[in-house]
Amino acid sequence: MNETPKNGLWTPDQPMVSIKDVHKSFGPLEVLKGISFDVMKGEVICIIGPSGSGKSTLIRCINALNDIQKGSIKVEGIEVNDPDLDKLELRKKVGMVFQQYNLFPHKTALENVMMAPIHVLKQDKADVEQRAYRLIKKVRLEGKETSYPGELSGGQQQRVAIARSLAMNPDVMLFDEVTAALDPETVKEVLVTIQELAEDGMTCILVTHEMGFARELANHIYFTDRGVIVEHGPPASFFAEAKDPRTQEFLSQIL
Amino acid sequence: MGSHTKSRFKRAIPGLDSGTPPMTDLPVLKPVFQGSRETWTWPTIAGVPRLAVPAWMVGLALIAFALSIGAAQAQAGAAAITFWTAFPQWLPFIMEGFVLNLLISFFAMLLGTVMGLGLGLAQVSTLDPLRRFAWLVTQFFRNSPWLVLLFCFMLLLPFRVKIGGSEIDIPGWTKATFALSLPIMANIAEIVRGAVLSIPIGQWESAESLAFSRRQTMWMIILPQCFKRMIPPWMNWYAILTMATPLCSILEVQEMMKSTREALNALGDKPELVAPFYTFVLVVFFVYIYPIARWTIHLERKFAVKN
């Protein structure tokens, strides 16, 4: 759909997201100390690690919610660490889903999905509405179109949030611990939604504590601790042959 | 939500709840309010909050009014002018004054709200100088005595302007309205600022990640959520403003207070008429403002429960 490089710099054989030596500090506290990795189109990447290791900060940097002090983040050739960055252009390509859903409470599920395409992309309202119905159906919430977020369960709200992001037709989806605030029963319905997305070929970067999910779906797992990538690899080798003691300790605690 | 209708306490408190013996013979301070405050709602008629001033309040006001007349009559003796002959005659004149009080309160509120919204938004602007300036303006008008503001603007603003070839008089009450709108502006600005800052940061972040501009986020996502929580304090300021409108009488604005004074003047400044006339003014203001105050409390509770 949107694969033609805008400025001729990016082609689909290049990494869709390219992160190089990223440093990020909050005041004197350095939370990212030189992180690098690439994400190819259609890949599912899971970032795991103890809390406070900088995982969330890292993916928030990818869509410029946080700025970085050093290094480079490129999304389809757009340099994020650029004072003249066109944030609008970047955020049209990158969708993000948050731990706390952050739906707009004064709008119905359908309106939540429709708002950004209508007001940001200035798309035709009737078309957007049709697409919004399809997206609500895709996240299996048919019949909930007119419900307000307050009337939906956590899992349902999170699926509306996913649909809302998808309505912008992003090329990459970022998931920031999207199941961490959910009841155990509703975690699964959200994970199934993400799985279906991944199977459709969506490029996904997830910060997650769901090891089972990471093992099943990830193409590559990155383990971060104290601002650096300690260990990484495809799930099979990552879980079987973790070498670093920090990784081993973390996995023994969580599995 | 409906689970705690009976008792606010989950466990029985020894000595307080029935059937539990006290664990101590020391005096126990009982909770001031033992009912279920959360579930109490203002009585409504067909869904509309009952605005009627409770009968006993009106009764009290009328008794005060009657007593003041009674006292006046006792003093007046056999004089020709009594309250009952003078009052009906001057009532339309006095009420005409009250209409001006209402006009001043409406327009000052309207102006103050519009300016206050702008000033409040300026206070949460990303532009540093604008934010500081807005803060300064807000603090200045919030902390100035209203009467002094009235004096200043009555003198500062021209009483006549030339537009083209014709001269137009600016009536005093419009100047007073403008002066009163300034402290309202400052206080509304604080309400707007507080409401905007009370919206969780996640709303800004999700709007930002959906590529909404800051302006779009403010007007389409943040402010609509603020609206409800701003209404009760906004109404509260309207009540305060209306009570302040008689201040304009000092500046020769023909509002209720001044009309009453002139009526008494015309009646020869009889001491026995002063009390009932001014009591009447009080009663009129009370009957107008009290329902607004009750409604404000009702809305506050209603929105508090929903959030």
Opening angle at CA B163, ends B160 and B165, nearest 5: 105
More confident residue, B248 or B30: B248
* DSSP secondary structure code for residue B12 in this structure: P
Quick one: B53-306 is in which CATH superfamily?
MetI-like (1.10.3720.10)
- State whether residue B203 sits within 8 Å of chain A by CB: yes
Cβ contacts (< 8 Å) between A94 and chain B: which residues?
A: 209
Q: Do the chains contact at A106 and B213, CB–CB below 8 Å?
A: no
Q: Report how far residue B132's alpha carbon sits from residue A94's, in angstroms, rounded to the nearest whole number.
A: 35
- State whether residue A96 sits within 8 Å of chain B by CB: yes
**Residue among A119, A121, A205 with most chain B CBs within 10 A, to mutate:** A119
Q: What is the pLDDT of residue B115?
A: 97
- The answer, yes or no, to whether residue B275 has pLDDT greater than 70, is yes
Opening angle at CA B135, ends B134 and B136, nearest 5: 90
Cβ contacts (< 8 Å) between B200 and chain A: which residues?
A: 100, 102
Q: What is the pLDDT of residue B59?
A: 76
- State whether residue B198 sits within 8 Å of chain A by CB: no
Q: What is the pLDDT of residue A3?
A: 46
Torsion, CA A8, CA A11, CA A15, CA A21, rounded to 10: -10
Return averaged pLDDT per consecutive 10 residues of chain A, 255 residues in all: 53 89 92 93 92 90 93 92 90 94 95 96 95 95 94 94 95 94 88 92 93 90 92 90 86 79
In angstroms, the separation between the Cα of residue B37 and the nearest Cα of chain A is 23
Q: Report how far residue A227's alpha carbon sits from residue A234's, in angstroms, rounded to the nearest whole number.
A: 21
Q: How many CB pairs under 8 A join A and B?
A: 54
Q: Do the chains contact at A164 and B211, CB–CB below 8 Å?
A: no
Q: Read off φ and ψ for residue B262, nearest 5 degrees.
A: -70, -40
Q: What is the pLDDT of residue B53?
A: 53
Q: What is the pLDDT of residue B63?
A: 80
Q: What is the pLDDT of residue B139?
A: 96
Q: Smallest Cα–Cα separation from A175: which of A103, A100, A78? A: A100
Lowest-pLDDT choice from A119-133, A136-150, B69-83, B184-198: B69-83
In angstroms, the separation between the Cα of residue B97 and the nearest Cα of chain A is 43
Domain residue spans in chain A?
Answer: 105-170
Average pLDDT of the residues in B167-180: 89
Q: Do the chains contact at B211 and A168, CB–CB below 8 Å?
A: yes
Q: What is the pLDDT of residue A1?
A: 45
- The answer, yes or no, to whether residue B129 has pLDDT greater than 80, is yes
Q: What is the pLDDT of residue B2?
A: 42
Q: What is the pLDDT of residue B16?
A: 56
More confident residue, B47 or B73: B73
Note which residues in 119-178 of chain A have CB less than 8 A from chain B.
119-120, 161, 164-165, 168
Cβ contacts (< 8 Å) between A154 and chain B: which residues?
A: none
* Residues B251, B176 contacting (CB under 8 angstroms): yes
Burial of A41 (0-12, 13-18, 19+ CB in 10 A): middle
CA nearest to A86 within chain B: B211
In angstroms, the separation between the Cα of residue B227 and the nearest Cα of chain A is 11
pTM for the full predicted model:
0.79
3-state secondary structure chain A: CCCCCCCCCCCCCCCCEEEEEEEEEECCEEEEEEEEEEECCCCEEEEECCCCCCHHHHHHHHCCCCCCCEEEEEECCEECCCCCCCHHHHHHHEEEECCCCCCCCCCCHHHHHHHHHHHCCCCCHHHHHHHHHHHHHHCCCCCCCCCCHHHCCHHHHHHHHHHHHHCCCCCEEEEECCCCCCCHHHHHHHHHHHHHHHHCCCEEEEECCCHHHHHHHCCEEEEEECCEEEEEECHHHHHHCCCCHHHHHHHHHHC
Q: What is the pLDDT of residue A88?
A: 87
Cβ contacts (< 8 Å) between A170 and chain B: which residues?
A: none
Cβ contacts (< 8 Å) between B206 and chain A: which residues?
A: 96, 98, 102-104, 161
- State whether residue B31 sits within 8 Å of chain A by CB: no
**Residue among B209, B227, B303 with most chain A CBs within 10 A, to mutate:** B209
Note which residues in 49-108 of chain B have CB less than 8 A from chain A.
none
- Count CA within 13 A, CB hemisphere, residue B195: 25
Q: What is the pLDDT of residue B102?
A: 96
Lowest-pLDDT choice from A27-41, B8-22, B163-177, B223-237: B8-22
In angstroms, the separation between the Cα of residue A154 and the nearest Cα of chain B is 15
Average pLDDT of the residues in B279-303: 91
Percent of chain B with pLDDT over 70: 78
* Amino acid making up residue B153: F
Cβ contacts (< 8 Å) between A65 and chain B: which residues?
A: 205, 208-209
- State whether residue A116 sits within 8 Å of chain B by CB: yes
Q: Which of A100, A106, A168 has its CB closest to that of B210?
A: A168
Q: Categorize the per-residue pLDDT at B269 as very low, low, confident or very high, splitting at 50, 70 and 90.
A: confident
Q: What is the pLDDT of residue B1?
A: 41
Q: Do the chains contact at B216 and A98, CB–CB below 8 Å?
A: no
Q: Do the chains contact at A98 and B206, CB–CB below 8 Å?
A: yes
* Amino acid making up residue A117: P
Q: What is the pLDDT of residue B20?
A: 63
Q: Which of A87, A94, A102 has its CB closest to that of B206?
A: A102
Q: What is the pLDDT of residue A166?
A: 95
Q: Report how far residue B138's alpha carbon sits from residue B121's, in angstroms, rounded to the nearest whole number.
A: 12
Q: What is the pLDDT of residue A243?
A: 85
What pairing do the DSSP bridges indicate for beta strands A29-39 and A203-207? unpaired
- State whether residue A181 sits within 8 Å of chain B by CB: no
More confident residue, A189 or B303: A189
Q: Which of B205, B210, B224 has its CB closest to that of A116?
A: B210
Domain residue spans in chain B?
Answer: 53-306
Per-residue pLDDT of B22-47, as tens digits, reads 565 565 555 555 444 444 555 555 55
Q: Read off φ and ψ for residue B244, nearest 5 degrees.
A: -90, -15
Percent of chain B with pLDDT over 90: 55
CA nearest to B206 within chain A: A102
- The answer, yes or no, to whether residue B10 has pLDDT greater than 80, is no
In angstroms, the separation between the Cα of residue A30 and the nearest Cα of chain B is 22
In angstroms, the separation between the Cα of residue A48 and the nearest Cα of chain B is 22
Residue B51: in which H helix or E strand, if any?
Answer: none
- State whether residue B213 sits within 8 Å of chain A by CB: yes
- State whether residue B211 sits within 8 Å of chain A by CB: yes
Q: What is the pLDDT of residue B216?
A: 95
**Residue among B1, B206, B221 with most chain A CBs within 10 A, to mutate:** B206
Residue B163: in which H helix or E strand, if any?
Answer: strand B160-163
